[in-house]
Amino acid sequence: MSTTMTDIINEGEKYLLHTYNRFPVVFEKGEGVYLYDTDGNKYLDFFAGIAVSGLGYGNETYTSALHEQIDKLTHISNLFYTKPLVQAAKNLCEMTHLDRVFFTNSGAEANEGAIKMARKYHYAKGNTERTEIISINHSFHGRTMGAVAVTGKEAYRAPFGPLIGEVHFAKYNDIDSIKKYVNDKTCAIIFETLQGEGGIYTVDEAFIKDVRKLCDEKDIVMILDEVQCGFGRTGKMLAYEHYDVLPDIVTMAKGIGNGVPVGAFACREKVAALVPGDHGTTYGGNPFVTAAINATIKVFKEENILQNVCEVGQYMFEKLEELKEKHPCIVAHRGMGLMQGIELDEAPGEVINKAREKGLIIISAAGNVIRLLPPLVIKNEHVDAMISILDEVLK
C-alpha cells in the first residue's frame, strides 16, 4: 500500500463507500491528548473520536488491560459467562443505578434494544396496542432503521422509509408538546439528556422531572439516550444524575469502552421484559470489549476523572464566554462539563478547516455549532491552547 498521505487518501476514495466527507488527513497514532498524522504533524484533539476517547491515547492501565485480555480470550459468544462480562455488567448497573444490562456493539444498537424492550414491556402485559413512541425534534439516536426512525431530523429519515411507524416528534424542554401526543397507545418517551448532534442543548431540570412524573402516571417507559453525553462527559457518570432523575432505560456507548466498539442499555427490573429468543447479539459483551469497559471505569476511579471534568469544564466554559464576548460572530455558547459548543453566525466549515491547519481538531453540530468534545483528561493548558487557536482563526 502507498505510504504518502495523498496516496493513502486517494486509495481510500477509490475503495471506501462515500458515506463520510473525510478531512484530508491520515492519522497514525495518538499520545495523551494529541494525535499525529503520517507526516508527523501534531494536533490537539478536541473531538476525541466524537466523545469516545475519554482517557485520551496510550493510558497504561487501559492498554495493559486490553493486551492482557487479548492474550487470554477475545470472543466466546453469549452462550457462556466470562469474568469481564459479569464484572462489566455489575459495574454498569452500579454506575447507572439500574438493575439489568445488555451489551451491544454501538449506540444505535443500544437504542434499537431499548425500543424493543419498551414495546415488549407493554406487549407482555397484554397491552398490544401500546406501540407509539414520542421522540424529540433535532434529536439523534443512530443510523439503523429503528434508531433513525426516532431521530428527529427529517433528512436522516426520508430516504429510508417506510420506517417503524407510530413515532411522534415533540419539542425539547416543552412538556406541553410532549403531552399533546400522549394517549392510551403511548409506549415510550425517548430523548437525549444533552443533545449533541442537534446543537449542544441541555435538558431543563423541570422538563426532565415532568417527563419522569408523566411516565410514572401513565406507565410510559422513559428512555434516556446518553450515548454521547454519558460516561463522565458532563461531570457525572450519567448526565441524568445532575437532575436526581432515574430513567426506566438508559442507552450508552462511545466513551464506555474508550475506543473499542461497545454499547449497552441498562434498565429497571420492572421493564426487563426481554427473554431468551427476544433479542441477541453475536459480538456484544465479548470478553475483549467488556475488559475495556472495566479498565476504563478503573481509570475513572484511580485518576479522579470526574473531578477533572468538573474543574477543567468550568475553566473551559469561562474561557469560551470570554471568547464569545470578544468575537461578535459567536452568537451563543452552551453545554456543560467537557461537552460544549459555540454557535457561529455562519457555517463553521472554514473555521474548522483553518483550526486543523493550525493543529487543532474540532467538529461541527447542527445549527452552525462548533462542538467541543475533548478527552476527559485535558488540563487548563490545553484549553488555553484551543482558545488561542480559535481566537486567531475567528479574527
Summarised one tens digit per residue, pLDDT across range 54-86 is 999 999 999 999 999 999 999 999 999 999 999
Domain 76-302 in CATH 3.40.50.300: no
Q: For the residues 229-255, what does the mean pLDDT come to?
A: 98
Using a pLDDT cut of 90, give the percent of the chain over it. 99
Does 235 score more than 80 pLDDT?
yes
pLDDT tens for each residue of 267-291:
999 999 999 999 999 999 999 999 9
d(CA 214, CA 206): 12
Do strands 249-252 and 263-267 pair parallel, antiparallel, or not at all (unpaired)?
A: antiparallel
Q: What sign results for the dihedral spanned by CA atoms 372, 374, 377, 380? A: negative
**Location of C-alpha cell 469497559:** 293
Asked whether residue 302 carries a pLDDT value surpassing 90, the answer given is yes
Average pLDDT of the segment spanning 176-204 = 97
Whole-number average pLDDT of the chain: 97
pLDDT at 59: 97
Q: What is the pLDDT of residue 3?
A: 81
Q: Please state, in angstroms and rounded to a whole number, the distance separating the CA atoms of residues 353 and 366.
A: 17
User: Residue 43: its pLDDT value, please?
Assistant: 98
Q: In the prediction, which pLDDT does 74 show? A: 97
pLDDT of 99 > 80? The answer is yes
d(CA 193, CA 165): 24
pLDDT of residue 232: 98
- Alpha-carbon dihedral sign for residues 332, 42, 62, 254: positive
**pLDDT classification of 2: cutoffs 50, 70, 90:** low
252 vs 165, higher pLDDT: 252
Give the strands of the sheet with 132-136, arranged side by side.
Answer: 100-104, 263-267, 249-252, 221-225, 186-192, 132-136, 167-170
Task: Give which of 236, 212, 200, 209 is closest to 96, Cα–Cα.
Answer: 236
Q: What is the tens place of the pLDDT at every residue in 318-349?
A: 999 999 999 999 999 999 999 999 999 999 99
Q: Cell 474543574 belongs to which residue? A: 311
**Is residue 163 a contact partner of residue 192, using CB atoms and an 8 Å limit?**
no
Q: What is the pLDDT of residues 256-270, one digit of tens each?
A: 999 999 999 999 999
Does residue 51 surpass a pLDDT of 60? Answer: yes
Q: What is the average per-residue pLDDT within 86-104?
A: 98
